[in-house]
Amino acid sequence: MGENIQQVIDKRSAVIKKFKEELIRRLNLPYAPDDLHEDVSLLGSGLGLDSLDALEIVLCIENCFGIKIPDQNTSILRSINTIVDFVIQEQEKKG
């Protein structure tokens, strides 16, 4: 049997929380996790992060969640939601 809706929501919330906390800590951002909307654009006009920050985000994802991000796949970094979708998808592949 698959997971129920509440398990899916809980898993997603946990990944979002962990990622936001790590992102803020690693990039020294002047925000609290609740200040970061899941759909805000991370690079460019949203949070205004640059390519160096993008590299740090990739390292953050790889270190926190043990997931390798394919080179040149910057579409994953569009928002917190796109990152979380990718992380959960990869975790499910691993079982």
Per-residue pLDDT tens over the stretch 1-34: 567 999 999 999 999 999 999 999 999 999 999 9
What pLDDT is attached to residue 95? 76
* Start-to-end CA span in the chain (Å): 14
Domains of the chain: 5-94 (1.10.1200.10)
The model carries a pTM of: 0.89
Q: What is the mean pLDDT of the chain?
A: 91
How far apart CA 38 and CA 82 sit, in angstroms, is: 9
Per-residue pLDDT tens over the stretch 47-81: 889 989 999 999 999 999 999 888 777 789 999 99
Q: What is the CA radius of gyration of the chain?
A: 13
